[in-house]
Amino acid sequence: MRIHSLVWLLGWGCSCAALVGCGGGASAAPPAEAPLAERAAVAPAPAPASNAETAKPAPSAAADEAEAAPEKPKAAEDPNATREVTYVVVPEGLKVTVAGVKFTVGASAAQVGPGWGVKLAVVASAEDGKPHSLGSPKAGPLAFAGSVTRKGKSEPEAFGDERGGDGEQSIFGDDATKFTRTWPAKGVRVLGAGDALDLQVALWGLGANADSRRPVKKFCHVRMEVGKGKPRAIVEPPVSASGK
């Protein structure tokens, strides 16, 4: 009986020791801190930039150079550039349009002394609404050259203007500018019966201003033959009207 009790006490003591060991395991110290690498891996990410910051464009070197570069000067107008000239035959004569100006040209026979001459009447207006300048020397804006074939002669008599002086006539918008000139010039014989006139007409100068004026060499052509009674003058485009 005593032997059994001792065995039971020893068994109970071992059980208590085992329990004490187990209790020590339950109350063990907390685990050590996570390694630095692991803490860095779970660190919060930095806050994203605001919309204002992300929308702001980076400065452009090309844009800075474009702003700094001076403006290129406009190319000067070519003084030898070909100008388009249009011709329209109308009942009152001929309409000529060149460099933004419209001219209406009429021609009629004019009694000059014992023979005949030709009178040209021109009305000019600006189609583009801009001011224009006509060169107008002593004889006016029109320049004459050509020839007369006299009755009974095979060789025509040539003639041509010499410019005298310098002047200007201005053309403003729809305000009509009018001028006239009569052939023959001083020193040229008038037309008689059987004579024929071939008259080439030019403008001494046309441009936006006095500095830019250039001649209009092929302005119009006038022809007239004298027979019986009053002759009829015909105004038409130049024979070669492909240029200025």
> What angle is formed at CA 31 by the lines to CA 28 and CA 34, rounded to 5 degrees?
175
Which of residues 128 and 15 earns the better pLDDT score?
128
pLDDT of 76 > 80? The answer is no
| Predicted pLDDT of residue 61 | 52
pLDDT digits (tens, 9 = 90+) for 154-175: 899 999 998 888 899 999 887 8
Q: How confident is the model at residue 187 (pLDDT cuts 50, 70, 90)?
A: confident
| Predicted pLDDT of residue 125 | 95
pLDDT of 85 > 60? The answer is yes
Q: Of 226, 202, 222, 225, which is closest to residue 214 (Cα–Cα)?
A: 202
pTM, full prediction: 0.66
Q: How confident is the model at residue 14 (pLDDT cuts 50, 70, 90)?
A: very low
Say how far apart CA 125 and CA 95 lie, in whole Å.
11
Mean pLDDT value across residues 22-35: 45
CATH number of 85-236: 2.60.40
Say how far apart CA 156 and CA 150 lie, in whole Å.
7
CA contacts within 13 A on the Cβ side of 152: 2
pLDDT of 74 > 60? The answer is no
| Predicted pLDDT of residue 66 | 47
Query: CB–CB of 204/136 below 8 Å?
Result: yes
Q: Which residue has the tokens 């060499």?
A: 217
CA distances from 227 to 191, 192, 233 (A): 10, 8, 12
List the structure tokens of 151: 């009755």
| Predicted pLDDT of residue 238 | 94
| Predicted pLDDT of residue 58 | 53
Other CB atoms within 10 A of residue 151 CB = 11
Report the range of poorest mean pLDDT among 102-106, 107-111, 186-190, 218-222. 186-190
Which of residues 123 and 2 earns the better pLDDT score?
123
